[in-house]
Chains A and B, each alone.
Chain A
Amino acid sequence: MALLEYAIIGGILYGIFFSLVAIGLNLIFGVMRIINLAHGQFVMLGGFGAYLVTSSLGLNPIFGVPLAVLGGIAIGYPLYYGVVPRLQRSRDPEMLSFILFFGVAQMIEAVMTLLFGVDERSLPGEALGSGNFGVLGQQFPDSWWVAVAVSLLCIGGLWLYFSRTRLGYATRAIIANREEALATGINVNRVSAIAFIIGLSLAGIAGVFVPYLVGSISPSDGSDLTTTSFAIIIIGSLGNPLGTVVGGLVFGVGTMLMQTFYPSWSNLVPYVLLVLIVLVRPSGLLGKAVRNA
């Protein structure tokens, strides 16, 4: 029973963190209908940002969080205006974005490999706390709790953005129907650019904590992170950023339960869930039913 409790609590924590890992991908898809296949590479960049903050500046890796936001702006703004409007003028933006961002992902990985080599990098183990903190008698490393706290802050912040700000209303309007939003006078391009920057920043922030939850970070970790993120957002609801949290929790708890009882099969969890969701409820657990006329 203790193992079951540990797996469930661990799964919830892991799932909340992976919601943050994936949420930027869903936000960008929801607003722009483009698939950012370089999402995992932006998460990886966040991890390397934190690595630089600690190794070069001697600061706590938590300072990687503001750096990720700055990086999101510095990369997101030119990338958006250089690429996205052109994509959206094309006949099949989803497919084209798939190819284009695959190229971006490969470029980022290649550049990072040139700059940092292929070695795994880690962050100081005790920087986010050296002890363990328990809930219901189950102890988890301090770094997990910090990662979860930051994830909840980011997800909560995104919810407030959607529900309390004019830009957030406009973003939701675009998610609901881009053409109608355009017709009502919303500056779709500007709102989309902001969403794009937020999406990349959230990915970067998640990256800061990846070395603590998965041991280390290397330039080649991006593709796996993209795949996992993609599975999570499909499980939750593709195009509904906050649905990502449900996807993350299902993924986290499922993975940890499998690790506890059938560890060999644990990597299958996100993909089995993905297939089941696509077959049974294609719009995702939180997706709205689709009505066909």
Chain B
Amino acid sequence: MIKALKKAWLASVMTAGLVLPGAAMADTATAPSVIKIGTLYASTGNFAIASKGQYEGLEYWAKEVNADGGVFVKAFNKKIPVKIVAYDDQSSTSTATTLYNQLITQDHVDLLVADFGSVLTSVAVPLAAEHKMLLIDPTGSGANFFTQKTNYLADVSIPSSTVWPLPLAHFLLDQHIKRVAVIYDSNDFDASQAETLKETLVKGGVTPVYYHGVPTGETNYNVLLHTIAARRPEALIEFGYPPNDIAFLRTLSSSGLHFNMTFTIFPGQLMKMMEKTVGAKAMAYTYTYPTPPLVATTDTTYGPDTATFVKDYTAAKNEAPNFLNVAGFNTGLIMQDMLGQAPQFTQLSFHQALMDMSGKTKTLEGEFKINENGAQLGELFSVAQLIPSGDTNKIVVVYPEDKATGKPVYPAPKQ
């Protein structure tokens, strides 16, 4: 891992040398002793599982770069250690608002990283803009964040949620599935995916037979599933957060109901945890978005490839990483590249560096590509199916065809 990060650092230095040979650098005497990275995590509440994973990935990145002397900061032409300043928002947006404010105004952090997901990122977006601070947004992908041009927001480790379901919609149309039911949590992350899916399906001539939102805290799906079954859908798509997906899949498994196709988001991100909680059998033949490390990137231009990361992370933490660990680590990598390229130590310069990196950088999550609104348009997800393999399930990418590793089992057999 150190080797990979050194490689990344060298790349930054070389880029710096190419872009600004002999350009005036900031005086090293003015360089801070540490780069303060402010972030939040949730130890409890709806987003705790995912938030913890993302935070652990970021912490791991910081530990690795500090072991190598810190990140190279082009503005000071030297390596500087990083320090993470983190507070617990307990999955509460009101607590998060106070704490983001504290990070900006009291701790005077150099870089601001949002907590996991759209809900906890939503309160940081206006605050960061108000304080003219670039918000590094690892996994807040809600469509509402990216409606206008901004210098103060960059979604770095997950595609904007509006583009997530595009491959899924095309897969449904390709399979000639005409009766589709969509149930989604009423939050920006899930609702924007549902909206995109519906829009794309309708354009393809398929109008969902059931399309309803449920509260984000919903965990009782028994009656909902029977209501949906009454519409006789061939495919049932559920967009939720991990607790919703767990409750949905467990209820479906015990309900005696069967659908030819079911889709949920988080098995593809938290496979191990979901299998432990839901049970491999209850997840068999479910479709999901496969994410790194379940799908690997080999040809990275910055940082380690997926296999190297998995090997090093597992050795360091004694457990294999999940997607959110990857997302947290990738956030660190993107910031590292950004600091290595930004000629000045200012928020606007950081943003410009990210824009310059867009379309030219490929990390273990895939192509980094943001638009002027801060939305991530790269790092796209495919569609995969969980196929039983012994006591567990294996991920088989089924769409798009150029990325497919197998054929879908459709209709799914009754378990």
Determine the distance from Cα of A121 to Cα of B277 in the docked complex, in whole angstroms.
Answer: 6
Determine the distance from Cα of A218 to Cα of B256 in the docked complex, in whole angstroms.
Answer: 26
Task: Assess the A216–B243 pair: CB atoms within 8 A.
Answer: yes
Q: Does B222 contact A (CB under 8 A)?
A: yes
Question: Which of A122, A132, A214, A218 lies in contact with B255, CB distance below 8 A?
Answer: A132
- List, in ascending order, chain B residues with CB within 8 A of A3's CB: 226-227, 230
Q: Closest A-chain residue to B248, C-beta based?
A: A215
Q: Does B29 contact A (CB under 8 A)?
A: no
Determine the distance from Cα of A224 to Cα of B45 in the docked complex, in whole angstroms.
Answer: 10
Determine the distance from Cα of A80 to Cα of B152 in the docked complex, in whole angstroms.
Answer: 53
Task: Assess the B247–A214 pair: CB atoms within 8 A.
Answer: yes
Task: Assess the B43–A113 pair: CB atoms within 8 A.
Answer: yes
- List, in ascending order, chain A residues with CB within 8 A of B31's CB: none
Among B10-18, B195-203, B207-215, B288-296, which stretch is in contact with chain A?
B207-215
8 Å CB interface, B30-45 against A: 42-45
Task: Assess the A132–B256 pair: CB atoms within 8 A.
Answer: yes
Determine the distance from Cα of A135 to Cα of B369 in the docked complex, in whole angstroms.
Answer: 55
Task: Assess the A260–B227 pair: CB atoms within 8 A.
Answer: yes
Determine the distance from Cα of A161 to Cα of B195 in the docked complex, in whole angstroms.
Answer: 54
Question: Which of A14, A121, A212, A259 lies in contact with B224, CB distance below 8 A?
Answer: A259
Contact with B along A43-84 (1 / 0, CB 8 A): 000000000000000000000000000000000000000000
Task: Assess the A10–B219 pair: CB atoms within 8 A.
Answer: no
Task: Assess the A267–B91 pair: CB atoms within 8 A.
Answer: no
Determine the distance from Cα of A113 to Cα of B246 in the docked complex, in whole angstroms.
Answer: 19
Task: Assess the B219–A214 pair: CB atoms within 8 A.
Answer: yes
Task: Assess the A266–B214 pair: CB atoms within 8 A.
Answer: yes
- List, in ascending order, chain B residues with CB within 8 A of A255's CB: 220
- List, in ascending order, chain B residues with CB within 8 A of A6's CB: 223, 226-227
Take A109-B44, A141-B255 as given contacts and tell me if A264 and B213 are in contact as well, using a CB distance cutoff of 8 Å. yes
Tell me, rounded to whole Å, the shortest Cβ–Cβ distance linking A221 to chain B: 9
Q: Does B49 contact A (CB under 8 A)?
A: yes
Q: Does A99 contact B (CB under 8 A)?
A: no
Take A119-B277, A267-B215, A267-B218 as given contacts and tell me if A220 and B226 are in contact as well, using a CB distance cutoff of 8 Å. no
Q: Does B242 contact A (CB under 8 A)?
A: yes
Tell me, rounded to whole Å, the shortest Cβ–Cβ distance linking B46 to chain A: 8
Take A2-B230, A214-B219, A218-B48 as given contacts and tell me if A263 and B224 are in contact as well, using a CB distance cutoff of 8 Å. yes
Tell me, rounded to whole Å, the shortest Cβ–Cβ distance linking A212 to chain B: 8
Question: Which of B42, B186, B223, B248 lies in contact with A260, CB distance below 8 A?
Answer: B223
Task: Assess the B212–A263 pair: CB atoms within 8 A.
Answer: yes
Determine the distance from Cα of A161 to Cα of B221 in the docked complex, in whole angstroms.
Answer: 35
Task: Assess the B44–A113 pair: CB atoms within 8 A.
Answer: yes
Contact with A along B211-253 (1 / 0, CB 8 A): 0111101111111101100100000000000110011101101
Task: Assess the B226–A143 pair: CB atoms within 8 A.
Answer: no
Tell me, rounded to whole Å, the shortest Cβ–Cβ distance linking B233 to chain A: 15
Tell me, rounded to whole Å, the shortest Cβ–Cβ distance linking A206 to chain B: 15
Take A6-B226, A214-B219, A260-B227 as given contacts and tell me if A118 and B52 are in contact as well, using a CB distance cutoff of 8 Å. yes
8 Å CB interface, A260-275 against B: 260, 263-264, 266-267
- List, in ascending order, chain A residues with CB within 8 A of B45's CB: 220
Determine the distance from Cα of A132 to Cα of B247 in the docked complex, in whole angstroms.
Answer: 17
Determine the distance from Cα of A270 to Cα of B230 in the docked complex, in whole angstroms.
Answer: 26
Q: Does A213 contact B (CB under 8 A)?
A: yes
Take A10-B223, A215-B247, A215-B250 as given contacts and tell me if A119 and B49 are in contact as well, using a CB distance cutoff of 8 Å. yes
Q: Closest B-chain residue to A139, C-beta based?
A: B256
Task: Assess the B215–A264 pair: CB atoms within 8 A.
Answer: yes
Task: Assess the A215–B219 pair: CB atoms within 8 A.
Answer: yes
Determine the distance from Cα of A115 to Cα of B378 in the docked complex, in whole angstroms.
Answer: 39
Question: Which of B217, B222, B250, B277 lies in contact with A140, CB distance below 8 A?
Answer: B222
Take A119-B49, A219-B44 as given contacts and tell me if A266 and B218 are in contact as well, using a CB distance cutoff of 8 Å. yes
Determine the distance from Cα of A259 to Cα of B213 in the docked complex, in whole angstroms.
Answer: 10
Question: Which of B44, B250, B276 lies in contact with A220, CB distance below 8 A?
Answer: B44
Q: Does A208 contact B (CB under 8 A)?
A: no
Tell me, rounded to whole Å, the shortest Cβ–Cβ distance linking A136 to chain B: 14
Determine the distance from Cα of A147 to Cα of B253 in the docked complex, in whole angstroms.
Answer: 18
Task: Assess the A119–B273 pair: CB atoms within 8 A.
Answer: yes
Q: Does A180 contact B (CB under 8 A)?
A: no
Task: Assess the B242–A120 pair: CB atoms within 8 A.
Answer: yes
Determine the distance from Cα of A121 to Cα of B243 in the docked complex, in whole angstroms.
Answer: 10
Q: Does B167 contact A (CB under 8 A)?
A: no
Q: Does B254 contact A (CB under 8 A)?
A: yes
Determine the distance from Cα of A140 to Cα of B221 in the docked complex, in whole angstroms.
Answer: 12
Determine the distance from Cα of A266 to Cα of B52 in the docked complex, in whole angstroms.
Answer: 29
Q: Does B282 contact A (CB under 8 A)?
A: yes
Contact with B along A233-268 (1 / 0, CB 8 A): 000000000000000000000011001100110110
Question: Which of B43, B217, B223 lies in contact with A267, CB distance below 8 A?
Answer: B217
Task: Assess the B44–A125 pair: CB atoms within 8 A.
Answer: no
- List, in ascending order, chain A residues with CB within 8 A of B230's CB: 2-3
Q: Does B278 contact A (CB under 8 A)?
A: yes
Contact with B along A215-231 (1 / 0, CB 8 A): 11011100010000000
8 Å CB interface, A1-58 against B: 2-3, 6-7, 10-11, 14
Q: Does A185 contact B (CB under 8 A)?
A: no
- List, in ascending order, chain A residues with CB within 8 A of B279's CB: 122, 125
Question: Which of A120, A130, A142, A212 lies in contact with B277, CB distance below 8 A?
Answer: A120
Task: Assess the B48–A118 pair: CB atoms within 8 A.
Answer: yes
10 A-B contacts, Cβ less than 8 Å apart?
A3-B227, A119-B49, A119-B276, A125-B250, A215-B219, A215-B220, A215-B246, A216-B243, A218-B48, A267-B217
B residues in contact (CB < 8 Å) with A: 42-46, 48-49, 52, 90-91, 183, 186, 212-215, 217-224, 226-227, 230, 242-243, 246-248, 250-251, 253-256, 273, 276-279, 282
A residues in contact (CB < 8 Å) with B: 2-3, 6-7, 10-11, 14, 109, 113, 117-122, 125, 130-132, 139-144, 212-216, 218-220, 224, 255-256, 259-260, 263-264, 266-267
8 new A-B contacts, CB < 8 A, other than A215-B243, A215-B251, A263-B218, are A3-B230, A144-B222, A214-B220, A215-B221, A216-B243, A224-B217, A259-B220, A264-B214
Give the 4 A-B CB pairs with smallest separation, nearest first. Answer: A215-B247, A118-B48, A267-B215, A220-B44
